[in-house]
Amino acid sequence: MAKTMTRGIELEPIDRLEEKVKLLVGLIERMKAEQGRAVEEQQRLVREIDSLRGRLAAGDALATELSTLKEERDVIRARVGEMLDQLEALSL
């Protein structure tokens, strides 16, 4: 009976170690899964950032074009005003 108790006592640390190793393996598996999800999320965010940068560049181009068109409109408005003034002068 002494040998059985001695073996039981000797196996308890090994059993605890085995349990800790199993917990560690589970933790590592969860961390790998989390890392995989984080990598996928990062890739999605990088694609989204690239898309937003493209949209921003397109918006900047449109803003520049709009500014140019407004300047052209002002030039045309001034020229038409001058022509109307000249027409009024001729009608007198």
Domain residue extents for the chain: 1-66
Q: DSSP letter at 1? A: -
pLDDT in tens, 34-62: 999 999 999 999 999 999 999 999 999 99
pLDDT band at 2 (very low <50, low <70, confident <90, very high): very low
**What is the percent of the chain where pLDDT is above 70?**
89
pTM of the model: 0.58
Q: Is 52 helix (H, G, I), strand (E, B) or coil?
A: helix
Q: Is 92 helix (H, G, I), strand (E, B) or coil?
A: coil
